[in-house]
Homo-oligomer: A and B are copies of this chain.
Amino acid sequence: MDGAARGLADIGLTNFAPYLMNRIMGRYNAGFREELAGLGLTTPKARALAVLSVVEAPLVGELAVYTVTEQSTLSRALDQLQADGLIHRKTDPDDSRAVRVTITDAGRYLFADLWPHMLAAQDRMFRDIPEAERSAFLSTLQKMLLNIRKHEI
């Protein structure tokens, strides 16, 4: 079918995946933001701690991709996390212009408090969705990220 025939009215808003995904993630992120405020955290700080708990010493630019955060916003978040002793930044020994970020033990400890909230929010999103359907959904998401990403991570 060509673009003219396949209009938004024919498809319907609730069959247009980007609409649904923006609605779902808008709601999910707003709920997450409220929960984080109760823990004294912001979304960029929480995402940075989450990624650093599983990715070993990424470059700042890589961390910006993983956390889906503008570099300037991420840098401010990293300043605060470092001041609180939760992460540290160091120059890459092989490239003096490259800065790598690592999580401290205190950062891991804080993330351990945060993680159950993230897991519970994900479980609410998937409520009453069977395991097989959830796996298929994840597999499609992984293909979509490969289709759309600009970076090799």
Contacts and interface: CB of A to CB of B under 8 A. Distances in A.
A141 B17 contact: yes
Contacts of A124: 147-148
Interface in A1-38: 3, 6-9, 12-29, 31
Contacts of A99: none
Interface residues of A, number: 59
A8 B115 contact: yes
Interface string A136-147: 111011111101
Interface string A114-153: 0110111110111111000110111011111101111000
21 contacts: A6-B119, A8-B115, A9-B53, A14-B145, A16-B118, A17-B125, A17-B137, A17-B138, A17-B141, A18-B118, A21-B21, A21-B24, A21-B25, A23-B145, A24-B148, A31-B148, A124-B148, A125-B147, A127-B147, A129-B144, A133-B136
